[in-house]
Amino acid sequence: MPYNWATDISHRELGGGMQLRHLKVENFRGIATLDWSPEGAFCCMIGPGDAGKSTVLDAIEAALSPRWFVFGEHDFIGGDTSKTISIEVTVGELSKALKSDERLGLYIRGWSTAREMREEPEGDDEPVLTVRLTVDATLEPVWQIVCDRADEPRTISNRDRTLFGLVRLAGDDARHLAWGQGSILSRLTGDSDEAAAKLAGAYKAARDSANLGDIEALATAAGAAERFAKGLGAYVEGGYGPGLELGRGGVSTGSIALHDGGVPLRLAGLGSRRLATLAIQKSAITEGAIVLVDEIEHGLEPHRVMGAISQLRADQTKAAAEGKPIGHILLTTHSEVALGEAGAASLGVCRTVRPQRTTTIVKPGASDVIRGIMRFAPRALFSRRILVSEGNTEVGILNGVREFWPALHGGLPIEHVGGFIADGNGAEAPAIALGLRALGFEVAVYRDSDNALAVDVAARFVEAGIPVIEYGGGLDVEHAIISEANDGQMQRLIELLRAERGEGKINDNLRPALELSAAGIALGFDAWEVSSPHDGAEIRKRVADICVERRWLKDQRIARGAGSIAWDIAQSEPESPLAHSFAAARAWLYA
């Protein structure tokens, strides 16, 4: 059988965790420049679509993976092959194998406690290695270890790159579920000559007579894969074991695949396949690993997303407690569940500024501001333009109103242009808005005018470039809506409130304030002005006052139901403060 470099490297050599210390990317796909020093051994990268999150993982994989990558014009920024692709990955927590002079020890550099690179390590500097991948117009990739002390960089092979212990899960990589050349199962098995000999005599026999489970190396690898897969949350039905994939063609170890209770694992559910693939890859590294996971939630139920992240973190915590290398985990997500499980301290907000295509990854830390964002507006972190609204009423009303906007914009909802309406949780809205702006998001604030914005907060908004949309005239949302409503619109609103809050409760609160009898309050709104001693404007004011006092619209679901009424009012009164505020919000979100 052909020589397999993956199985020739011992399991022991693959031990020793790795951690990324620095990443520099130039002219790779959608990233013109990126200069990033990750903080912490667990990073959950978030941000809007096309921010560059997956490309960051691709760059790390391209530089450190033992796989040979084929590059094309599409891999260059703007398809311009005159701009050389350059990816530099500096790795710490090095294994003994990498630090030995026989391997790459002569190219060791120093990473200081101030997170700076030194060509000559000093004092407490951590030993690190820098891998540089370059691709020019010839489309031929070159992998080198760089160090200014050396006369010239050292070109490294795929065998050398195997020592960096990289694991990548992107989509559904089923090749690792079979004992094919270069698969992780082959690496776990070690010497595959026994498997090949068994196959030569058994390929034409039925699967049950092949007895591949009698081969100790295959059975051991399958058992290890099952343990790791269960630990990450993969559903195992009957137990993992080796089996023939009849009809796959050719007599090779690639014809042996991992089965679960006699059924090829590649036929399992997407989530279980992905978790099994990740577990198998991770199990091939004895201590630590650089684990890259793109969209961890793909194919998984929320509870298994939480379980997988929890287990990955637990593995690191256990390794740290035992004084072992802990490796590095970098994952991307568009899931609120994954975001919550990863925690504020692990976040890295990825942004790519156009047209320069400059990419940054900002660590917000675990401040009260980011906790507030994750509690009240986690979805905002996946958007581009965020309208921070003061509270539940504003968020609900605007979410109801926004349903009418696509018709005015060629059928596009605000979400399709990266817009999002976020809950600012009342008094926390300014801090949340400023926190989001500091992370690079485009932010505006939508608020009532009944309480003036503090002078210092207004100044900070101006400095940060955060526009403020208000009704003006001291109006809150309830008074802005009710003061402009005609009799029919008021009737619709009262009926909505009665349906949501209870007819008796609404009537009992309104009747004394409007000085109406029980029979009078039961009449339609257009009869109230006749039955009440107050005129229409005063009746509307009193209804709005009670609405605020009793918090009838302080519920996003109820307020959203009132959104269609508010929109109808704005359309019938286009010069009203309500109409102007809706127009300003729509214009900003669609900008």
Q: Which CATH number characterizes residue 40's domain?
A: 3.40.50.300
Does residue 109 fall inside a structural domain? yes
The residue from 308, 339, 364 where one domain ends is: 364
Domain count, the chain: 3
Q: Is the pLDDT of residue 198 over 60?
A: no
Does residue 62 fall inside a structural domain? yes
For 143, other C-beta atoms within 10 Å of its C-beta total 24
Q: Is the pLDDT of residue 410 over 80?
A: yes
Does residue 1 fall inside a structural domain? no
Dihedrals phi, psi of 270, to nearest 5 degrees: -55, -45
Same domain, 529 and 584: yes
Q: State residue 173's pLDDT score.
A: 58
Same domain, 532 and 429: yes
Same domain, 303 and 273: no
Does residue 290 fall inside a structural domain? no
Q: Are 49 and 85 in contact (CB under 8 A)?
A: no
Q: State residue 175's pLDDT score.
A: 61
Q: State residue 243's pLDDT score.
A: 78
The predicted-structure confidence for 394-407, as pLDDT tens digits, reads as follows 999 999 999 999 99
Same domain, 95 and 149: yes
Helices (H), 365-470: 368-376, 392-401, 429-438, 455-464
Q: Is the pLDDT of residue 112 over 90?
A: yes
Comparison of pLDDT for 2 and 524, the residue scoring more: 524
Note the pTM of the prediction, 2 decimals.
0.82
Q: Give the pair of three-digit tokens for residue 25.
A: 């990317």
Same domain, 208 and 306: no
Same domain, 273 and 309: no
In whole angstroms, give the CA distance from residue 580 to residue 472: 10
First to last CA, the chain: 61
Same domain, 184 and 277: yes
Percentage above 70 pLDDT, the chain = 87
Does residue 2 fall inside a structural domain? no
Three state DSSP letters for 260-305: ECCEEHHHCCHHHHHHHHHHHHHHCCCCCCEEEEECCCCCCCHHHH
Does residue 291 fall inside a structural domain? no
The predicted-structure confidence for 40-70, as pLDDT tens digits, reads as follows 999 999 988 889 999 999 999 999 998 889 9
The residue from 257, 284, 311 where one domain ends is: 284
Q: State residue 366's pLDDT score.
A: 63
Q: State residue 27's pLDDT score.
A: 98
Range of the domain at 224: 169-284
Q: Is the pLDDT of residue 3 over 80?
A: no
Same domain, 97 and 186: no
**Beta-strand pair 385-389/442-447:** parallel
Same domain, 197 and 242: yes
Residue among 434, 422, 439, 440 nearest 466 (CA): 434
Does residue 135 fall inside a structural domain? yes
Same domain, 402 and 443: yes
Q: Give the pair of three-digit tokens for residue 456.
A: 């210092």
Same domain, 388 and 530: yes
The residue from 364, 395, 410 where one domain ends is: 364
pLDDT tier at 348 (50, 70, 90 boundaries)?
very high
The predicted-structure confidence for 263-301, as pLDDT tens digits, reads as follows 777 777 888 888 887 777 776 666 678 999 999 998 889
Does residue 479 fall inside a structural domain? yes
In whole angstroms, give the CA distance from residue 327 to residue 167: 11
For 219, other C-beta atoms within 10 Å of its C-beta total 16
Could you please report the per-residue DSSP string of 9-31? S-TGGG-S--EEEEEEEEEETTE
Same domain, 67 and 149: yes
